[in-house]
A and B are shown apart, each in its own frame.
Chain A
Amino acid sequence: KNQVEQSPQSLIILEGKNCTLQCNYTVSPFSNLRWYKQDTGRGPVSLTIMTFSENTKSNGRYTATLDADTKQSSLHITASQLSDSASYICVVSDRGSTLGRLYFGRGTQLTVWP
């Protein structure tokens, strides 16, 4: 069964600290993996996209890694800011259908305290 599991479910850190969010998936075949940021009451916004051949991709203070062999990805946030408080969603795409079906994780709720 194709699944995307994220951990931790929630995380609280102090402003300025770093953190790492995890995503494990069983989706096959694999096309790409995205991390989205969803602010409360808003729609998700894409942060990064990685294909099978990419190991690391950065977007400002966000760095995503992908290990396609172990089917794991992480999102590292450096020098956290209050505006980083949001849900971070891991999304995996397969090549198995014309739609290029997306599998969504439940997200990690990050709270940054001053």
Chain B
Amino acid sequence: EADIYQTPRYLVIGTGKKITLECSQTMGHDKMYWYQQDPGMELHLIHYSYGVNSTEKGDLSSESTVSRIRTEHFPLTLESARPSHTSQYLCASSAGTSGERDTQYFGPGTRLTVL
């Protein structure tokens, strides 16, 4: 079982609310990632970080933002949630970006529903 945690596990909110999805890992990994996954579809990378104070946008355009102030913590924020943001959000971390070090360890996910 990977030492990577996400809260909340489930969230139902109304349109226009600001939300923050929490992700933390205790493995000391420098690389962290946020993915979005819809049922029956592939994972899409929306944000990643190589280390503290380093964040980049991923392949899928997202209205969310991230921050990396501490190595172990990588929160994702939506300033104004919309129904189109309804999805599963998965956080992951890895020790590196090549070979075995690129094995990503995933959290349990946050299922977000915006009404």
Contact = CB atoms under 8 A, between A and B. Distances in A.
Interface residues of A, number: 26
B40 A99 contact: no
B45 A100 contact: no
Contact of B99 (A4, A32, A102): A32
A76 interface: no
Interface in A1-20: 4, 9
Contact of A31 (B59, B98, B103): B98
Given A31-B98, A100-B97, A100-B98, A43 B103 contact: no
A104 B106 contact: no
A43 B97 contact: no
Nearest to B103: A46
A51 B99 contact: yes
Nearest to B58: A99
A109 B99 CA distance: 27
A90 B115 CA distance: 33
Contact of A49 (B41, B100, B108): B100
Contact of B92 (A9, A31, A43, A99): A43
B74 interface: no
Given A43-B90, A43-B106, A43-B109, A106 B99 contact: no
A105 B42 contact: yes
Given A104-B42, A106-B41, A34 B108 contact: no
Contacts of B90: 43-44
Nearest to A103: B42
Contacts of A41: 108-109, 111
B109 A104 contact: no
Interface of A: 4, 9, 31-32, 34, 41-46, 49, 51, 89, 93, 95, 98-102, 104-107, 109
